[in-house]
Chains A and B, each alone.
Chain A
């Protein structure tokens, strides 16, 4: 520990039942540096930060801030010690102004006058000092996502934080917004603040941080100066074994499988166009909430076009129900596996036949053949490497990655012609992600068409033959992956090139 150490964690340990979430983790953060905490889901990043911020009490170990020991389990003590947390999900009141949001909770309760003008002066100065342009009198509802994040950061700075924790801050940002966030973070560190940047995205961590701490399964497995490490090394440290990057071999496109022509739906598509061929993966990029879910619902048979034309495999598919869609060998990997994909309180066997039980394979005159169903479940468990005690185990007990493998097994084992993959890698660790990607590439090789809807540009760029962007319910004309840059995609995700009436961003 040197004199410029501002935060020191000493052998922090936390157990949840049998799970060792944090195993004697020690690290320190120096003044003016950005320390990245890298790890897969479930590696213990969030638990560690919750201990630091006083939401949890560690079973063992201690924390010192600026040389003083921090009282455990008291968020207020953490704030007073100068720790500020910018959460992944914003904690702002939409109907209040920026100024009110920032002042909220900083004033004494039993006072009649409010020190608004004083607060406004302080806020304006802070914003100037750190180059965070903001309009204090706008309500939060009027702000873009990037601006809201700026407010969150100002809120923490206003409380005189010297150490900022940012939990997956780029999850909701376009690449441009991320770049501007990184520039802001550099400015903050130049002023002597320290930042802990939590992420599982390797590229971001490499471009923004000074030092990288890698967590795996509750343990701190490595500490690397950012300059002296590589993407490949970090990935292997995170997963604990070598990772192969997906290889895409060029192949010719087949027939048109999906044709969406100027379709509008009540839940968010606005004259959307899309053409998808067999044997190709089309990546659909976009900031979440721009109609991705509406497109997925449409192609799943859950909603129907209010106007426009939808044809699948050359047939008119306007009125197709989910049952019909399944019957046409369309595999759907839903965005939310808990809400839509699986029934958590039913067994593995009961879940794998959910889409197929009507067919002659599993039922005769209304009676189900559970033996055939169990065999199918066993085939999937083996074929797709699902870790579960038995076909009778409740799905609730499986990990996120194994749930996803179960969904893949259920739909991909039927040799689908079209795969609708919505956020197929969300919340999975790198090992499971590469497994999912291999399966999608294998299906492409077999001539299936794949629509890959994802928030993660890296994933889209890694897998897609062609890429489109969805913005406010409209879909851009696809571009070859090799001819498009992250920068262009980022601009399109912010609305450039879309002709949307009444939209200031449109160019």
Chain B
């Protein structure tokens, strides 16, 4: 049994296998739901209703998708250049820390000035967080999977230290949390009375910007070339190390913006449960989107929808919301397998 590449996958094949993958995931998840004693069809209906069945549900899904778009873009940008940034979580938290440092009254500026400054400082904080591992990679060949992954734990402990020390809210009744950001630092709500905020628009702009970078800018072309064949890129005169560092700055900056968006758009202050793993989920989002920046938006909304929908479903149907994680994980595996089959065919001899 072996794999043979297809010369030019037909449109039928390109659509068939992903469709089969989604069907397979539903069957698999339905089987698990059945095991927990509920009716799969009613459970899936509840998940869908919870994710997109009402205006409230839809806005909730988009709110949840916002940080995922940022971290998804961060992973997509880095992975395209084969810079394996697993540290989205750390960069997100550093972006959040920067937002708190500059957004809690240090700069008494009006919103139209303060918010752009916060965008910059949070992006810079995220970018610098990834710059270290990227530098170690290009200079000494240190594996960035290890450094970025471990840096997540270091940064979260560092944030914990800040929350118990310099950034601790004196009025917080002893809770490890920061002060609230000032009103001028808050991202405006898009619709009065809903949680969906301006961060979502920023995420869409970011996705569009990354798309332009990838397709139109020399930098996007360089990142792609370095990702596919660094030796040939170097031979052609590209400064591979410098391109790698630029990729790191862009990727880390995008993840840093996720931190800003969550703090200034939603939570108002920084606690240790700011991110339930948005940095890691961003990797899943980027893979589902095949690293395409516009695909990241769709994939982020899909993943967010499953999580939000499953939460709502578990309240009504009594099936644990862990089913959401199973669905997202098996969707990723199925999609990766399906994509392989669009490019290869199985031969039995």
A residues whose Cβ falls under 8 Å from a Cβ of B: 17, 57, 300-302, 321-323, 325-326, 332, 334, 339-346, 350, 354-355, 357-358, 363, 366-368, 370, 397
Which listed residue (A325, A332, A343, A397) contacts B233, Cβ 8 A? Answer: A343
23 pairs, CB–CB < 8 Å, chain A vs chain B? A302-B234, A302-B235, A321-B237, A322-B235, A323-B237, A325-B237, A326-B236, A332-B235, A340-B231, A341-B232, A343-B225, A343-B228, A344-B228, A344-B229, A345-B228, A346-B225, A354-B232, A354-B236, A358-B218, A366-B217, A366-B219, A367-B217, A397-B7
Which listed residue (A323, A341, A357) contacts B218, Cβ 8 A? Answer: A357
Q: Which residues of B contact A368 (CB under 8 A)?
A: 216-218, 221
Do A350 and B232 touch (CB < 8 A)? no
**How far apart sit A334 and B235, CA to CA, in the bound complex (Å)?**
9
**How far apart sit A9 and B177, CA to CA, in the bound complex (Å)?**
82
- Shortest CB–CB separation between residue B260 and chain A, in angstroms? 26
Do A355 and B237 touch (CB < 8 A)? yes
Do A346 and B228 touch (CB < 8 A)? yes
Do B218 and A322 touch (CB < 8 A)? no
- Shortest CB–CB separation between residue A304 and chain B, in angstroms? 14
Q: How large is the interface on B (under 10, 10 to 19, 20 to 34, 35 or more residues)?
A: 20 to 34
Q: Which residue of B lies closest to A16 (CB)?
A: B4
B224 within 8 A of A: yes
Q: Which residues of A contact B235 (CB under 8 A)?
A: 300, 302, 322, 332, 334, 340-341
Q: Which residues of A contact B7 (CB under 8 A)?
A: 397
Which 7 A-B residue pairings sit nearest by Cβ, starting from the closest? A323-B237, A354-B236, A322-B237, A343-B229, A340-B235, A345-B228, A343-B228
Q: Which residues of A contact B233 (CB under 8 A)?
A: 343, 354
Q: Which residues of A contact B237 (CB under 8 A)?
A: 301, 321-323, 325-326, 355, 358
Do A355 and B236 touch (CB < 8 A)? yes
Q: Which residues of B contact A322 (CB under 8 A)?
A: 234-237
- Apart from A334-B235, A343-B232, 5 more pairs, CB < 8 Å: A323-B237, A340-B232, A341-B235, A350-B225, A397-B7
Q: Which residues of A contact B231 (CB under 8 A)?
A: 339-340
Do A366 and B232 touch (CB < 8 A)? no
Q: Which residue of A lies closest to B230 (CB)?
A: A343
**How far apart sit A340 and B228, CA to CA, in the bound complex (Å)?**
12
**How far apart sit A344 and B228, CA to CA, in the bound complex (Å)?**
8
Do B217 and A357 touch (CB < 8 A)? no
Total residue contacts A-B, CB cutoff 8 A:
69
Q: Would you give the 0/1 interface string for B116-130, flagging 1 where the beta carbon is closer than 8 Å to chain A?
A: 000000000000000
**How far apart sit A7 and B232, CA to CA, in the bound complex (Å)?**
46
Do A17 and B219 touch (CB < 8 A)? no
**How far apart sit A368 and B349, CA to CA, in the bound complex (Å)?**
46
- Shortest CB–CB separation between residue B163 and chain A, in angstroms? 41
**How far apart sit A270 and B170, CA to CA, in the bound complex (Å)?**
70
**How far apart sit A280 and B299, CA to CA, in the bound complex (Å)?**
59
**How far apart sit A368 and B231, CA to CA, in the bound complex (Å)?**
22
**How far apart sit A326 and B4, CA to CA, in the bound complex (Å)?**
38
**How far apart sit A323 and B218, CA to CA, in the bound complex (Å)?**
15
Contact A339:B232 (CB < 8 A) given known A322-B237, A366-B218, A368-B217: yes
**How far apart sit A15 and B219, CA to CA, in the bound complex (Å)?**
44
Do B234 and A354 touch (CB < 8 A)? no
- Shortest CB–CB separation between residue A499 and chain B, in angstroms? 33
B residues whose Cβ falls under 8 Å from a Cβ of A: 4, 7, 216-219, 221, 224-225, 228-229, 231-239, 349
**How far apart sit A397 and B236, CA to CA, in the bound complex (Å)?**
21
- Shortest CB–CB separation between residue A372 and chain B, in angstroms? 13
Q: Which residue of B lies closest to A373 (CB)?
A: B221
**How far apart sit A340 and B7, CA to CA, in the bound complex (Å)?**
24
Q: Which residue of A lies closest to B212 (CB)?
A: A367
- Shortest CB–CB separation between residue A62 and chain B, in angstroms? 18
**How far apart sit A340 and B219, CA to CA, in the bound complex (Å)?**
20
Q: Which residue of A lies closest to B216 (CB)?
A: A367
Contact A350:B221 (CB < 8 A) given known A322-B237, A397-B7: yes
Q: Which residues of B contact A346 (CB under 8 A)?
A: 224-225, 228
Do B225 and A354 touch (CB < 8 A)? yes
Q: Which residues of A contact B219 (CB under 8 A)?
A: 366
- Shortest CB–CB separation between residue A289 and chain B, in angstroms? 19
Q: Which residues of A contact B217 (CB under 8 A)?
A: 366-368
Q: Which residue of B lies closest to A357 (CB)?
A: B218
- Shortest CB–CB separation between residue A396 and chain B, in angstroms? 9
Q: Which residues of B contact A325 (CB under 8 A)?
A: 237
Do A357 and B232 touch (CB < 8 A)? no
Q: Which residue of B lies closest to A326 (CB)?
A: B237
Q: Which residues of B contact A367 (CB under 8 A)?
A: 216-218
**How far apart sit A366 and B237, CA to CA, in the bound complex (Å)?**
16
**How far apart sit A350 and B349, CA to CA, in the bound complex (Å)?**
36
Q: Which residues of A contact B218 (CB under 8 A)?
A: 357-358, 363, 366-368
- Shortest CB–CB separation between residue B237 and chain A, in angstroms? 4
Q: Which residues of B contact A345 (CB under 8 A)?
A: 228-229
- Shortest CB–CB separation between residue A460 and chain B, in angstroms? 24
**How far apart sit A112 and B248, CA to CA, in the bound complex (Å)?**
59
Q: Which residue of A lies closest to B226 (CB)?
A: A343
- Shortest CB–CB separation between residue B44 and chain A, in angstroms? 38
**How far apart sit A326 and B232, CA to CA, in the bound complex (Å)?**
14
**How far apart sit A332 and B228, CA to CA, in the bound complex (Å)?**
20
**How far apart sit A363 and B221, CA to CA, in the bound complex (Å)?**
11
- Shortest CB–CB separation between residue A2 and chain B, in angstroms? 36
Report which residue of B224, B234, B236 has the largest number of chain A beta carbons within 10 angstroms of its beta carbon: B236
**How far apart sit A355 and B238, CA to CA, in the bound complex (Å)?**
8
Q: Which residues of B contact A342 (CB under 8 A)?
A: 229, 232
**How far apart sit A328 and B235, CA to CA, in the bound complex (Å)?**
15
Q: Which residues of A contact B229 (CB under 8 A)?
A: 339, 342-345
- Shortest CB–CB separation between residue B22 and chain A, in angstroms? 27
Which listed residue (A17, A343, A397) contacts B4, Cβ 8 A? Answer: A17
**How far apart sit A73 and B218, CA to CA, in the bound complex (Å)?**
51
- Shortest CB–CB separation between residue A424 and chain B, in angstroms? 15
Q: Which residue of B lies closest to A364 (CB)?
A: B218
Q: Which residue of A lies closest to B6 (CB)?
A: A17
- Shortest CB–CB separation between residue B262 and chain A, in angstroms? 31
**How far apart sit A346 and B229, CA to CA, in the bound complex (Å)?**
10
**How far apart sit A116 and B349, CA to CA, in the bound complex (Å)?**
41
- Shortest CB–CB separation between residue A356 and chain B, in angstroms? 9
Report which residue of A346, A350, A363, A397 has the largest number of chain B beta carbons within 10 angstroms of its beta carbon: A346
**How far apart sit A346 and B232, CA to CA, in the bound complex (Å)?**
12
**How far apart sit A342 and B229, CA to CA, in the bound complex (Å)?**
8
Q: Which residues of A contact B238 (CB under 8 A)?
A: 323, 354
- Shortest CB–CB separation between residue A218 and chain B, in angstroms? 18
- Shortest CB–CB separation between residue B279 and chain A, in angstroms? 28
**How far apart sit A366 and B216, CA to CA, in the bound complex (Å)?**
8
Do B221 and A357 touch (CB < 8 A)? yes
